[in-house]
Amino acid sequence: MIEIRRGSIALWIGIIAGPIAWASALQVRYSIVVYVCRNHMYWLMWLVTLGALLITAFGGFCAWRGWTDSTPRVRFMALGGLSISALFALAIISAAIRDFSARACP
């Protein structure tokens, strides 16, 4: 039987949370733009962006917890998770800047 450690799950969450949050936020923003324009609910875009950033921050926190371990594999995954979380947080913010500075609604 395969043994799964809790630390491994946290490290994998740290690695995949950012990309999943970015892709989900991108898809949700594209799918609700018509609804937002018809009902003038621009705050909904802020809510999607905030949710994606919270998920990415949670992934970064999970990766950061593994940083104190002395095992090379764990430290490598923690560094990768922190880097990926930071990169995708910037991607989420850059998509939000475009959404909020140039509104899609006429």
What is the tens place of the pLDDT at every residue in 4-62?
Answer: 566 688 899 999 999 999 999 999 999 998 898 888 888 898 999 999 999 999 999 99
Backbone angles phi, psi at 41, to 5 degrees: -105, 65
What pLDDT sits at residue 105?
74
The closest alpha carbon to 71, from 8, 4, 15, belongs to: 8
- Across 90-100, average pLDDT: 88
